[in-house]
Structure 1
Amino acid sequence: MPVNPIPRYLVSEAVTRALAEDQGGRGDVTALACIPAKAESKFYFVSRQDGMFCGMQPALEAVWQMDPEALVSPQVEDGSKVAKGDVLASVTGNARALLSAERIALNFMGRMSGIATFTRQYVDAVAETGTRIAHTRKTTPGFRAFELQAVQAGGGALHRFGLDDAILIKDNHVAVCGGVAEAVKAARDSAGHMTRVAVEVDRLDQLGDAVEAGAESVLLDNFSLDDLRGAVAQAKGKVTLEASGGVNLDTVRGIAETGVDIISVGALTHSAPNFDIGLDEG
């Protein structure tokens, strides 16, 4: 599945901030001290492990912001399966600039490839069940576009990007509104016909109220496997059912086999390990 590119202005802004944070007020004093000003070098981004790759956009942006004339040759695309030792991209340019960009490029690649690889493990765990794995909004502040692109690169489904994407009524909304039905009806009356309304329930007896009030999706929060099966039988395909809570690689297959449509996993973005990528001189 093609991975949607991140808008260029978001990539540029994020990389600019990252480089500024890394360089401080004096720049890369090590490169300035050790490397001749006009020295040219060729480097290779190399995978140190097997997994899924993501992060080419910000990595190359870091290179180009430091050396606009650098020559780059990507060898893989976001969403590619890679093996230990694979060359991901080669870059040729001013040695000082490339070494100054190295850590920021690797940070983006490592974080995003880690999420993509972790997501793929979940996707593979529910293979052939028909259930999709989706992210949540439990993302690193300011880094959401990159983390969600990485989920997609790992084969995960896209959920809400932000609060303006869809109406998702959570437990605190329900509490303030006085009940599931009341909250869904208020949302349905307010929303345009193009806006989906989803509601979170934490008991099986709330599902009927949600469906009757007009919800298109129902999030089943921390349901037991028996209750998930009961919800699937009760809904009869009338709404999209999403399971969340208590999801890990040991439990996700069993949850998928209950017949829910989607399993949302916060761990994809808040607990993915870093992916090991290095920069080697050619």
Structure 2
Amino acid sequence: MLKELLEFLKEDVGEADITTDATVSFAAVATAEVVAREDGVLAGLFEAGQLLEHEGLLYKTQFADGSEIKKGSLILELSGNARKILSTERVMLNILMRMSGIATFTSRLQKQAAPYGVKIAGTRKTTPGFRNFEKKAIEIGGGWPHRQGLYDAFLIKDNHIAVAGLGKAIRQVREWDASKAVEVEVSTTEDALSACRMGVDILMLDNMAPEGIDITMKEIEKEGFRDKVKIELSGGITAKNLEQFLKSKPDIISMGELTTGAKWLDMSVRIKIADD
């Protein structure tokens, strides 16, 4: 985690923060406050702390990741070398704002889904290099991050089925590693039932209309599979149309919008350099 954080800082600072170095003395001391400019769910506080500690800066906070914050909340108080604060504050703020935005958006949708017993999940539609942080933010917001990548869970998609066939693909992944859960993406009732009969763990109904989903789920229940397989809905589901998919009462709804559509939570930094 720290390695990635330092890479983010290196990307911004490069060889030197030339403006700060030219205008602020090496020995200058400063204090700073990070303040929320809107309500939300806080995320990225641990990462911000790691970065600040590495840069030799002191900080204190009354919050933790997952805390609900209000507009005007004092999130962090910093003190230390003025140059370090000035060169670190933008990266720190970017991490806090991005992760808090995702956590806030996820929390809102998960609260909407909770009465239906549905878990809101993320996807692999993440920012390159920032996936671990975005997935963590989803979890902080109460959602399920889903698989981290292509390496930690089987998800047989339409292209795999096109190449190997549904039955063969399921058999092959079981033979490859029987300890991992197997999820299959389908878009027809027939394929959904075939996958259930082969004992998959999770069935993803992809890009199906609510009417088709209801028909498929009724057939799955009719054949006695509903308690044996988790049902995930995915594809084209957004905050605007979420409610109509929740009514089908699947186990999971995965939404790329958790990361592609989350607005950054607005925050600001107030810095005061001590008099010499």
Fold match, TM over 0.5?
yes
Do 1:125 and 1:249's aligned partners in 2 also have CA atoms closer than 8 Å? no
2:8–2:91 contact (8 Å) kept in structure 1 = yes
The aligned residue for residue 66 of structure 2 is: 79
Aligned residue pairs, count: 267
Confirm whether residue 233 of structure 1 aligns to residue 222 of structure 2: no
Q: Percent of aligned pairs with the same residue?
A: 37
1:183 has 2:169 as partner = yes
Deviations, residues 193-226 of structure 1 (Å, cap 9, x unaligned): x211110001111111101112111100011112
Deviation at 1:158, TM superposition (A): 2.7
Distance in 2 of aligned mates of 1:117 and 1:176: 40
Give 1:130 deviation, angstroms: 0.2
Question: Which of the numbers 14, 18, 23 marks the counterpart of 1:34?
Answer: 23
Q: 1:229, 1:259 within 8 Å by CA — same for their partners in 2?
A: no
Distance 2:169 2:194 in 1: 10
* Partner AA of 1:38 in structure 2: A
1-side partners of 2:236 and 2:24: how far apart? Answer: 51
Per-residue deviation at 1:36? 2.1
Question: 2:10 aligns to what?
Answer: 20
SS in 1 for 2:232: strand
Deviation at 1:163, TM superposition (A): 1.5
Give deviations 1:104-160, integer Å, cap 9, x for gaps: 000101111111111122112223110010001111111111001110111111311
- Does 2:270 align with 1:280? yes
Query: 1:38 deviation in Å?
Result: 1.3
Q: How do 1:148-227 residues align onto structure 2 when only pairs under 5 Å count?
A: 148-178=135-165, 180-192=166-178, 194-227=179-212
Alpha-carbon distance in 2 for matches of 1:22, 1:65: 16
CA distances 1:28-70 after superposition (whole Å, capped 9, x unpaired):
122112222212121111111111110112222332333x2x2
Conserved? CA contact 2:52–2:58, under 8 Å: no
Equivalent AA in structure 1 for residue 30 of structure 2 = S
**What's 2:53 paired with?**
64
Query: What TM-score do you get using the length of structure 2 for normalisation?
Result: 0.92
For residues 127-142 of structure 1, what are the structure 2 equivalents within 5 Å? 127-142=114-129
Report the Cα distance in structure 2 between the residues aligned to 1:36 and 1:274, rounded to whole angstroms: 33
Matched-pair contact (CA < 8 Å) for 1:228–1:260: no
Is the partner of 2:85 in helix, strand or coil?
Answer: helix
Q: Specify the alignment match of 1:3 in structure 2.
A: none
Q: 2:187–2:207: 8 Å Cα contact kept in structure 1?
A: yes
Q: Which whole-Å CA distance do the structure 1 matches of 2:7 and 2:172 have between them?
A: 41
1:257 pairs with 242, 247, 252, which one? Answer: 247
2:258 matched residue in structure 1: 268
Greater than 6 Å deviation, 4+ residue runs: none
**What letter corresponds to residue 252 of structure 2 in structure 1?**
I
